[in-house]
Structure 1
């Protein structure tokens, strides 16, 4: 591992019950963060099931793929450049069918400048947008 890369997240993937519904939800919810679906791979290409990767530019960092079994909820926190973007993420995610799991606001119990919003996606995953800039 080269210096400066320890601890950096390259990408994460989660399972979803309804791939089309989840793709539509994440397309809308992640748009305020500047993220879009930047890559899709078919079941033929994976040898299993299709996947969609969301990111910025051509780098997918957040992947979704269908699951036949029970969904186990995860928590994913995505960086936002400012507080207004956290607010916009929350509005977009709710409008796309997410459920509120923590309105935008300061969470000083994490640290004095922790400004985040939490939404449960249609599969129950806790998706957060967070900004660490001072209020």
Structure 2
């Protein structure tokens, strides 16, 4: 079982704004905000910091600059096409960049509706739902 993910950031306030715009509408709560990290968790999880489902946005522990993981992507499931579209727009307004607007991707099957963003550092984020066309 996946417990938590960690994404690097060189600008915690910018990343906080971006991930708050995406995660708050999905039910995540901000568990902690500090100079070096922000943690989001789901409200009904017994261990807010170890998940399951916790999302850490943090400066790297080794003190070096955070960099994008080539080939890495974090995906968040939503409940509808409308929610995918809403969150994609919110992410753009919160400092993200478009990496593939909302739509079906035939390569993934007939029921996969997805949008892609890059966070302020450039990490790839997917917002998706599954449904029948």
Give TM-score, length-normalised by structure 1: 0.79
Deviation at 1:41, TM superposition (A): 6.5
1:24 aligns with 2:17: yes
Deviation at 1:30, TM superposition (A): 2.3
1:72 aligns with 2:52: no
Separation of aligned partners in 1, 2:7 and 2:128: 19
Provide the residue aligned with 1:87 in structure 2. Answer: 85
List alignment gaps of at least 5 residues for structure 2. 49-53
Structure 1 runs of 4+ with >6 Å offset:
none
Deviations 1:67-110 (A, max 9, x none): 33241233101111111110111000000011100000001211
Deviations 1:89-133 (A, max 9, x none): 100000001110000000121121010000011100011111012
Separation of aligned partners in 2, 1:101 and 1:36: 26
1:56 aligns with 2:42: yes
Larger Rg: 1
Could you say what the CA RMSD is over the residues aligned between the two structures, in angstroms?
1.9
Q: Any conservation in 1 of the 2:85–2:115 contact (CA below 8 Å)?
A: yes
Give TM-score, length-normalised by structure 2: 0.80
Provide the residue aligned with 1:40 in structure 2. Answer: 32
Q: Any conservation in 1 of the 2:59–2:66 contact (CA below 8 Å)?
A: no
2:112 counterpart (111, 114, 117) = 114
Number of equivalences: 121
Q: Any conservation in 2 of the 1:32–1:88 contact (CA below 8 Å)?
A: no
Separation of aligned partners in 1, 2:57 and 2:44: 16
Change beyond 3 A, Cα 1:133–1:89: same
